[in-house]
């Protein structure tokens, strides 16, 4: 078994992208050193390991740094492929898993800026943001269909890519006074099923802690 020092994850606790790696490493039973970054005071290690984007998460494995969360996820899945494989083995199904994980990331900018408008916005713009936000999750709900998980009977690549964002749902709902469950019941049911899995629930912060962080952010931005 590899020593803990060989696998290091540079992370930031409320980051949905960091949560992805925590889940994958937990599912595969990989021990690693978790290093918390202060994004307002980035460490020399982070700046060195991700000199192009200077962002977390970064996985450092045997001295090599891997950046960009979906790329890290594929790397983890390939290196430790015998333990809880996340990507399906059939090429067509793999292509679909990659497509939907990529969709989540393409929409992230929208979710992030839309999400930001949801928890920090007001009035008409907030309403518009809520609508856009729900549409993205409705599309994903459509892709889930009647499956237990996006990966079928077990968690797959898309499940791990998506479930971290659900830890932010309570914050969006509370700030903007709406119920994501009412609009996307199947998706919320899926999220609850994921949370029954220890590797997921241990990797995600409690939604109330995210909410406290959001309130802090709002205060910092002068929006409370």
Partner 1 sequence: MAAGNVKLLGVWASPFVNRVEIALKIRSIESEFIQENLLNKSELLLKSNPVYKKIPVLFHDEKPICESLVILQYIDEVWPNGPSILHSDPYDRAISRFWAAYIDEKWFPLVTELRNAEGKEAKTAVLEKIYEGNLLLEEAFIKISKGKPFFGGDSIGYLDVVIGSLLGWVKAQEIMDEVKILDETKMPSLAEWDDRFCSDEIVKDIIPQPEKLVEVYRKYQESFYKK
Question: Given the rule CB under 8 A, which residues bind partner 1?
Answer: 52, 61, 64, 66-68, 71-72, 74-75, 78-79, 91-92, 94-96, 98-99, 102-103, 139
Q: Which is nearer to partner 1, 77 or 159 (CB)?
A: 77
Residue listed under structure tokens 């989540």: 104
218 vs 172: CA distance, rounded Å: 13
139 versus 209: smaller Cβ distance to partner 1: 139
Quote the least distance from Cβ 99 to partner 1, whole Å.
Answer: 5
Nearer to partner 1, 78 or 224 (CB): 78
Cβ distance 203 to 26 under 8 Å?
A: yes
**CB 173 → partner 1: shortest distance, Å?**
26
C-alpha 192/C-alpha 88 separation (Å) is 23
Residue 26 vs 59, nearer CB to partner 1: 59
Containing 72, the helix (H) or strand (E) segment is: helix 69-79
Rank residues 34 and 79 by Cβ distance to partner 1 and give the closer one: 79
DSSP 4: G
Minimum CB separation of residue 88 from partner 1 in Å reads 11
Please report how close the Cβ of residue 222 comes to partner 1 at its closest, in angstroms: 29
User: What is the smallest separation between the CB atom of 70 and partner 1, expressed in angstroms?
Assistant: 8
> Helix, strand, or coil here: 83?
coil
What are phi and psi for residue 42, nearest 5 degrees? -70, 140
* CA 224 – CA 220 distance, rounded (Å): 9
Burial code (b: 16+ CB inside 10 Å, e: under 16) for 74-83 equals bbbbeebeee
């Amino acid at each position: 078994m590899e020593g803990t020092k060989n696998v290091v994850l540079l992370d930031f606790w409320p980051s949905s992208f960091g949560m992805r790696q925590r889940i994958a490493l937990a599912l595969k039973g990989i021990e690693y050193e978790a290093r918390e970054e202060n994004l307002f005071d980035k460490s020399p290690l982070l700046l060195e390991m991700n000199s192009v984007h200077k962002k977390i998460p970064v996985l450092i494995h045997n001295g090599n740094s891997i950046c960009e969360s979906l790329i890290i996820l594929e790397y983890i899945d390939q290196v430790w492929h015998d333990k809880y494989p996340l990507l399906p083995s059939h090429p067509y199904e793999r292509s679909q898993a990659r497509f939907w994980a990529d969709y989540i990331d393409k929409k992230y900018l929208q979710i992030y800026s839309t999400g930001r408008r949801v928890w920090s916005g007001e009035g008409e713009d907030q309403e518009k943001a809520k609508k856009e936000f729900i549409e993205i999750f409705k599309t994903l709900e459509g892709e889930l269909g009647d499956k237990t998980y996006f990966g079928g009977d077990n968690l797959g690549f898309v499940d791990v890519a998506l479930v971290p964002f659900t830890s932010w749902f309570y914050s969006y709902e509370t700030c903007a006074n709406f119920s994501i469950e009412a609009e996307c019941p199947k998706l919320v049911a899926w999220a609850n099923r994921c949370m029954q899995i220890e590797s997921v629930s241990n990797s995600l912060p409690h939604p109330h802690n995210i909410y406290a962080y959001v309130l802090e952010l709002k205060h910092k931005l002068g929006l409370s």
